[in-house]
A and B are shown apart, each in its own frame.
Chain A
Amino acid sequence: MTGVNLSSPHGEALKAAGEVDGRSLWQDAWRRLLANRAAFISLIVLVTLGVVSVVGPYVLPWTYDQIDWDHVEAMPPNFAMGHYFGTDSVGRDLLARTLFGGRISLMVGILATTVALTIGVTVGAVAGFVGGKVDQLLMRFVDLMYAVPLTFFVIILMVLFGRNFILMFLAIGAVEWLTMARIVRGQTLTLRNKEFIDAARASGGSTTAIIIRHIVPNVLGVVMVYVTLTIPQVILLESFLSFLGLGIQEPMTSWGMLINDGAAELEINPRTLIIPAAFMTVTLFCFNFLGDGLRDALDPKDR
């Protein structure tokens, strides 16, 4: 009797067809994301920006810290000299600086978010799944961290460890993981009462195995969306810190710093503000559109 389906002609045909590859929820989501035009275009723009930022500085005739002594005054675009966006007030090529700044900004965005993602997901999943005292302890620590002002925290780190590029990633990551942890914990709480978690425990899975195998993959949908919203936040945070002089240092630069410099010369030379600001705005827009698209694509109600 177990072969009800197998013995039917249709069943035989299916059986002969061999293994059918399943379409995972991720594949479905990917398909829906591609169908969302704004998200798809955003994705392309972001990838292009990333590639150009990484490759660009090697290809351009000027480097980001090279001063063109013939044009120390801010100069309008001059194609003959290779200054496609002109130079800044001290004669450095603006395009090279914008692309280099993009490198830093995107790197901060992605690295700090990865730090936040790793810590946040681990803490949130453990707190939510184990519950009880562990949950209380971890979440009260999160509350405590929330209460520490960011600038204060960064200044303390700077004083303790000196000014360091890597430190900024850590500082931003250490602040951004808090919200991530709360989100993941909330999701985990709804998941842990699902029957498949009970089934996993009944079939001999340890707590660690269940968290890794079942909890984390299932919260990743929500987390992915939050990540795309965190990256622009982190980029903005970096420019804020650089603006205060706590972030990147000259001659290195980031979009935040370029905008800061440009703002000082707004009246004489609006170009030096508009160009990096445009790059940053486009990036932030794209991340937001991508986040929206991902949220729709991963929403189970669309299924």
Chain B
Amino acid sequence: MTAPLLQVRDLKVHFQVRSGGLFGTSIPLKAVDGISFDLKAGETLGIVGESGCGKSTLGRAVLQLLPATAGTVAWLGSDLTALDKAELKAQRRNMQVVFQDPLASLDPRMTAGDIIAEPLRNYHAELSTAEIKARVKEMMEQVGLLPSMINRYPHEFSGGQCQRIGIARAMILKPQLVVCDEPVSALDVSIRAQIINLLTDLQRRFNLSMLFISHDLSVVRHISHRVMVLYLGKVMELADRDALYRTPRHPYTQALISAVPIPDPEKERAKPRVIVNGDLPSPLNPPSGCVFRTRCPKATEICAQVAPPLEHAGAGHEVACHHWRE
């Protein structure tokens, strides 16, 4: 087995939120609270969870766009959280990001060509304008954009095309890791498939590793090798895709999967559903013990007292629940 490309250990990102009043004390908002995982070369790890469970924060912390409060992010063995600016810049060329909102992730005052060329200009100052242009055009073609659109501005493109520009920008340095932060959530369903196919296609061609953040379980199932389920900044379950979708162990995962609609009304009506009641608790004041217990159908006394550790529940299958054996 090859060494993992990325090793995240006990990563925590806490934000200090001031409670009201002039002399209010600040309390930590634990957006990401002790997450560990490995990522191998060429592998896609899907990260799913509700809004506000820390998916995007995790992605940003991995890329060092947000400072980690504790824990390590190791890239090929070297800890990114300990690097200084210059070393971090050198490492950053290996990891890029694709954002959720296609238009907001592109500078409205720059042409598509300039946007895609920006990473090249940052890392290859020696390239001439003509060389940069040639590479940009080649990249545009690879992501399915017409190279003749190089001088257009983001507002002249459709959402799907903007996302392709974002992908081209992420791919132009030929990185080894791409963090996709809900890359298709803002897109039309018909465009979604195109972008997903483009991503898997690029992954195959460049042997990319991906962190694929999404709340859409069907999309994650399609693209991921492994899936991690987050809830209030903690890992609930981490397993191979097939294991997770066929035999979900955690009640939260079971509820999520049972909520995925089946495109057949007969089956849809007949299928058993695990209903999760209530809303996501405030991350400022998370429940004691297991964070999911307030909404869990299986919760018992122990859940309020002891936070369940991640336990092995089969090969590569980890679950954080006191009752997963039931």
Contacts and interface: CB of A to CB of B under 8 A. Distances in A.
Contact of B148 (A17, A217, A303): A17
For chain A, the bracket of interface size reads: 35 or more
Interface in B90-119: 92-93, 95-97, 99-101, 104-112, 118-119
A11 B141 contact: no
Contact of B194 (A4, A199, A201, A213): A4
Contact of A198 (B99, B149, B152, B169): B99
A303 B123 CA distance: 35
A275 B107 CA distance: 48
Contacts of B118: 200, 203, 205, 213
A151 interface: no
Interface string B186-222: 0000000010011001000000000000000000000
Nearest to B91: A204
B232 interface: no
B111 A22 contact: yes
A201 B145 CA distance: 24
Contacts of B122: 203-205, 209
B96 A203 contact: yes
Contacts of A205: 118, 122
Contact of A204 (B123, B156, B198): B123
A14 B148 contact: yes
A202 B123 contact: no
B144 A4 contact: yes
A264 B37 CA distance: 83
Contacts of A201: 65
Interface in B203-255: none
B166 interface: yes
B100 A195 contact: yes
A262 to B, nearest CB: 46
A220 B166 CA distance: 24
A6 B146 contact: yes
A5 B143 CA distance: 10
A6 B143 CA distance: 11
A195 B99 contact: yes
Contacts of B166: 199
Interface residues of B, number: 49
A277 B191 CA distance: 62
Given A25-B108, A199-B97, A204-B92, A3 B123 contact: no
Contacts, number: 112
Nearest to B122: A204
A196 B107 contact: yes
B153 A25 contact: yes
A255 to B, nearest CB: 37
Nearest to B201: A1
Interface in B57-110: 60, 63, 65, 85, 89, 92-93, 95-97, 99-101, 104-110
Interface in A129-184: none
A301 interface: no
A19 B148 contact: yes
Interface in A198-255: 198-206, 209, 213-214, 217-218
A20 B123 contact: no
B109 A25 contact: yes
A214 B114 CA distance: 12
B41 to A, nearest CB: 20
Interface in A268-303: 303
B149 to A, nearest CB: 6
A15 interface: yes
Contacts of A23: 153, 156
A6 B106 contact: no
A1 B197 contact: yes
B151 interface: yes
A9 interface: no
B150 A202 contact: no
B213 to A, nearest CB: 13
Contacts of A209: 122
A267 interface: no
A196 B108 CA distance: 9
A230 to B, nearest CB: 22
A21 B107 CA distance: 18
Interface in A1-35: 1-6, 11, 14-15, 17-25
A204 B89 contact: yes
A157 B201 CA distance: 67
A2 B107 contact: no
Q: Which of B110, B123, B143, B170 has the most CB of A within 10 A?
A: B110
20 contacts: A1-B198, A5-B145, A15-B146, A19-B147, A19-B148, A20-B151, A24-B109, A24-B153, A25-B108, A198-B99, A199-B97, A199-B106, A199-B169, A202-B63, A202-B97, A203-B170, A204-B89, A206-B89, A213-B118, A218-B108
Those 10 A-B pairs whose CB atoms lie nearest each other, nearest first:
A203-B119, A204-B122, A22-B152, A195-B105, A195-B99, A217-B109, A22-B151, A2-B144, A202-B97, A196-B107
Interface of B: 60, 63, 65, 85, 89, 92-93, 95-97, 99-101, 104-112, 118-119, 122-123, 141-153, 155-156, 166, 169-170, 173, 194, 197-198, 201
Given A1-B198, A19-B150, A203-B96, 12 more contacts: A5-B145, A15-B147, A22-B111, A22-B112, A22-B156, A198-B60, A198-B97, A199-B105, A199-B166, A203-B122, A204-B92, A217-B107
